[in-house]
Amino acid sequence: MDENKVELIVPESLIGNRADHVISILLNDYSRSRIKQWIEKGFVLVENKKITPKQKLLTGDKIIVYVQVDDKELQFKPEKIDIEVIYSDEDIAVINKPAGLVVHPADGNWSGTLLNGILNIFPNNKLLPRAGIVHRLDKETSGLLVIALNEISQLKLIQQLQAKTIYREYRAIIWGNINAKGFIDEPVGRHPKNRIKMSVNKINGKNAVTKYEPIENFEYHTYLKCILETGRTHQIRVHMQHIKKPLVGDPVYGFKKILPFKGISKKFIDMVTNFPRQALHAKKLELIHPKTNKKMSWEAKLPDDFSDLLNVLREAPAVGMDFEQPRTSYDTYKKFLDKNNLEDFEEDEF
């Protein structure tokens, strides 16, 4: 029963909450319903005693969770998938995931995923929960993620994620201008009306913090550095939408329709209106190696589509745009659209 054992401590901020709720927050790679099943089957102990999902926990309570591999996961098959492994040793591997690759099998994507490719490269990972995957990237987000190659490494990496000591730095291209460093501290949870989307949800959302810093400003866009302090589903995409600076190309949280602008090249219009994915790339990853305890970091170069978009934005000022001042906010941007008789966006289209 010691296999896949995870130890947790209840923080002061969660005192008095139900056990299944507390554990779903501390072990947020697993659903609350799945954790509830583990509790009911005796795979969760608090102070070395079996509990019920409704039991209220106290600050400092020691939780032991024996993570159970889902039967479906045991059925996942190795597949030969083109995966760039930029680093590996006996304990961890770092992957540079291309855009378009689903990380974990789910409804509609039971094969052809990163997990299937991992099982092909690292066959022993079939014995690990989620084949050693400890964090994810959206299908259309490119860049770095780390996987564990044994149980101890997986536990220690999960603990680092919980302690917010894994550094994850992204590059994004957004609509609108951001001219200074800042951060967004807004809870992220399921959209109250559309359950397939996430949103800033002050009632049921989980704490989420995104730091950002402009790297380069363009006429309509900003090339942005984003740093995750938390790792909620779609966090950067939702936070950028919330401040009305959505990612270029985002099919869920971005502009649904962009009409051509006067005086701008067709190349520019085609690129920014037809970019095939959210312009988001996990560029840098930094963590403490689970065995050596040494700090390690990796960087992944920008993929070609992202670099091409940047180059087009850099060329734009030379194509004869006639503006009195740069666009600095969404309101300014709307005035520009109105002035040129271009179609505006409804608020619910962000």
- Residues serving a catalytic function are 138
Q: CA 226 to CA 293: how far, in whole Å?
A: 26
- Give the H or E element holding residue 87: strand 84-88
In the block, which residue shows the tokens 């971005």?
Answer: 254
Q: CA 231 to CA 239: how far, in whole Å?
A: 12
Q: CA 160 to CA 278: how far, in whole Å?
A: 27
User: What b/e string do you get for 257-290 counting C-beta neighbours within 10 Å, with b at 16 or more?
Assistant: ebeebeebbeebeebbeebebbbbbbbbbebbeb
- Rounded to 5 degrees, what are φ and ψ at 300? -115, 130
Q: CA 340 to CA 342: how far, in whole Å?
A: 5
Which of 5, 91, 94 is CA-nearest to residue 293? 91
- Rounded to 5 degrees, what are φ and ψ at 217? -105, 140
Please report, in angstroms and rounded to a whole number, the separation of the first and last CA atoms in the chain. 48
